[in-house]
Amino acid sequence: MRRVGFIGLGNMGGPMCGHLVAAGYDVTAFDVNPDAVAPLVDAGARAARSVADCASGAEALITMLPAPPQVEAVWLGDDGAVAALDRGSIAIDMSTSSTAVGARVARAAGEREVDVLDAPVAGQSIGARAGTLAIYVGGSEGAFERARPVFETMGDPDRVFHVGPSGAGYTVKLLLNLLWFIQSVAVGEVLSVGVRAGVSLDRLHGALVGSPANSVFLERDVRMVLDDGDYDEAFPMRLVTKDLGLAVDLAREVGVPVELTALVEQIHRRARTLYGDDAGEISAVRLYEDLAGVKLRLEGT
């Protein structure tokens, strides 16, 4: 597999596509923003004129898009990708999308004998740039193995996971994001209460990291805030609340009551209202800072 189309060249998709170009794949790239395409053309990709042009002749077509409406429009809309793909090719959506949209794409692609993989990623924009993303793939084992070299070019080969049939990738990613956002709220609460109670942030954070309650978020991810006051605007709150809404929808579809998830979603929606659509994804911690009247910054930073 050498001919790859790539649609959606934002903070995540641009670097991911760049790794494919650098690895020698024959890449055709498309984005509604021509300025996003230009650096990839300079690196050796071909600029597509449209979604259908990007899909035509591709052995694998990858999309990295903001939300389910864009996923559905690109794959199934007028001049859509599914209708332009050749029989035997692979359609790969790496967006964080819904299982319902994924099922519609899979049905339409199946009618054209096109394999479909849902393959959302984790690792933030820094992981996209470094080529260290974790990738969670749903779909047939055969299609996964055919596409594995492509995934390993964009992500960490040890963290490319085939998690089950079509839709399983979307499900795992939504649950991963949900747990991360729950931890964002929990860590913001705990650190703000502790500092207001008179414990130094340095000692509190060190004690929690060394405790049974430690997590990757507490030990590593929240350090963006504690060290630099950086709430990670590379992934904005409009996408955070989109993902949390999809997680709530998923729980409703499978009939599981999720009171904690619903509360965490509302806390993030409150943060989005206060700080704006483009505020960083760790803005729940900022919310607790403001509620407690503290700034959570480690000494010496």
Mean pLDDT value of segment 63-87? 96
CA 256 to each of CA 4, 12, 25, 79: distance values in angstroms, whole numbers, following the listed order = 39, 32, 43, 38
Domains identified in the chain and CATH numbers: 3-164 (3.40.50.720), 172-292 (1.10.1040.10)
Spatial distance between the Cα atoms of 59 and 21, rounded to a whole number of angstroms: 15
Q: Average model confidence (pLDDT) for the chain?
A: 97
Q: Would you say residue 273 has pLDDT above 70? A: yes
Write out the catalytic residue numbers.
173
Amino acid identity of 174? L
* Cβ-based neighbours of 204, under 8 Å, separated by 6 or more: 191, 194, 195
181-237 tens-digit pLDDT:
999 999 999 999 999 999 999 999 999 999 999 999 999 999 999 999 999 998 999
Q: Would you say residue 79 has pLDDT above 70? A: yes
- Two tokens at 291? 């509620």
Among 107, 108, 160, residue whose Cα is nearest residue 138:
160
- pLDDT band, residue 125 (cuts 50/70/90): confident
Mean pLDDT value of segment 285-289? 98
Do 104 and 80 meet the contact criterion of CB atoms below 8 Å apart?
no
Spatial distance between the Cα atoms of 61 and 98, rounded to a whole number of angstroms: 19
Q: Would you say residue 300 has pLDDT above 80? A: no
* Cβ-based neighbours of 222, under 8 Å, separated by 6 or more: 184, 187, 191, 282, 285
- pLDDT band, residue 108 (cuts 50/70/90): very high
Q: Would you say residue 301 has pLDDT above 70? A: no
**Half-sphere exposure for 88 (CA within 13 Å, toward CB):** 4
